[in-house]
Amino acid sequence: MRKHFFSCFFVSSLVALSAGCNQPAAPTVATSTTTSSSPATTTADSSSNQTSVSTKDADMTKTAAVTRQKLNAEVDGKALEQFTLTNKNGLRAVVLNLGGILASVETPDRNGKLDNIVCNLGPDNSKFTTNPPYFGVLCGRYGNRIAKGKFTLDGVEYTLATNNGANHLHGGKKAFDKYIWDAEPVQGEGFAGLKLTLVSPDGDEGYPGTLTSVVTYKLTDKNELRIEYAATTDKATPINLTNHAYWNLKGARPESGNVLGHVIRLNCDKFVAVDAESIPTGELTDVTKDSPMDFTKAKAIGADFGKLTNEPQGYDHCWVINGGGNPTKEPVLAAEVKEPATGRVMRVLTTEPGVQFYTGNYLPGTADVGGFAKQGGFCLETQKFPDSPNQPSFPTSILKPGETYRQVTVHEFAVE
């Protein structure tokens, strides 16, 4: 079938890696202080108490815009806020200042019906003050696992929190997902966005150095969600930032069921071999043709579940992206996912070397996870390889003073 982006054209080339190619227009801003707990789909209303930033292309009849809304919750004495990004085609994404959470993304199916495709805790986003599955969060300082919560850097051994059995996961017990980030609506030609900044002090969760991270979400008029990451440090430190959204292209609701019928292709000829605790052995293993780990040709997510031996059954592995791992170049394809019933297509492109494909194996279906049950969503977390600080053969994850960490991940949305 022929694929269409929702503005009636297919994007044939990637957008530029640097945000510098988009020259911001002067925003129109209105401010207020009223608190609300409205659902994530709230949009701008000139009579409402929201902050609004919008931009208009002279050739467009619709505008890309950002609305800002306080929710009825605080974290560490700071107000929880949500920001709704809308492009000229009507696509919407909601991002919270808490943990940079991607709370929802609304895209149309082949019949033009809008639906949210990101798993969340329900329409009241103030519930995100607790978030056991890491729904939509920015993971840091180090997404994924570090073995035994230890690494040695420049001759010094550092000890981190162990919050995943004997290992360190997603930055520790109070990691980047649990902080209110400084948030600034941004705009440029053809996008509405949100710039998030967090300063992590020296010794935070055991990591060395004061790390300043800047993450910018951009919803473009090409129906792309770009996530641009940058960071600097005053002392050498590991860093591995990623977004932990769970996707269900049928519509991210518990009643939609599991994602095992989604069809996925990974642009990956190798994967990172791991032990029973999901810690890398140090080997990058070739994908065996027609094995459960072979997604070089598109197949249903659940096609080979019966051949998997891990418990709980499902995928939670990092694949090596063909041509990936160069942050100075444009993103390359990591994955393409199609949902046959709705016609929705999502392509994920990145400058990172790896993508963690996780099939929601631990979702329990309880109220504290929004009712989502096992395999109710899947994750494609673009990142450095797990445990890289302890794996000298892996691409380095160490950021040094005077350097700037960068990565860009793009989600392209289409229908067919």
What's the start-to-end Cα distance of the chain, in Å?
Answer: 6
pLDDT at 61: 53
pLDDT in tens, 370-389: 999 999 999 999 999 999 99
**Domains, the chain:** 19-415 (2.70.98.10)
Whole-angstrom Cα distance, residue 61 to residue 313?
A: 49
Task: Work out the pLDDT band at 43, boundaries 50, 70, 90.
Answer: very low
Q: What's the whole-number mean pLDDT along residues 35-39?
A: 32
Question: Going edge to edge, which strands form the sheet with 354-358?
Answer: 280-286, 270-274, 316-320, 354-358, 379-383
Q: What's the predicted TM-score (pTM) here?
A: 0.87
What is the pLDDT averaged over residues 113-133?
Answer: 96
Question: So which residues are the catalytic ones?
Answer: 244, 381
Using the predicted structure, report yes or no on whether residue 13 has a pLDDT greater than 50: no
pLDDT, mean of residues 344-367? 98
Check if the beta carbon of residue 411 is closer than 8 Å to that of residue 217: no
How is the chain split among helix, strand and coil, in percent rounded to 5? 5, 40, 50
pLDDT in tens, 233-252: 999 999 999 999 999 999 99
Position 265 pLDDT exceeds 60: yes
State residue 37's pLDDT score: 31
Least confident of 52-56, 208-212, 370-374, 392-396: 52-56
Residue 187, strand partner residues:
192
Three-state SS annotation for 26-94: CCCCECCCCECCCCCCCCCCCCCCCEEEEECCCCCCCCEEEEEEEEEEEECCEEEEEEEEECCCCCEEE
Confidence band, pLDDT 50/70/90 cuts, at residue 311: confident
Closest CA to 91 of 261, 341, 346: 346
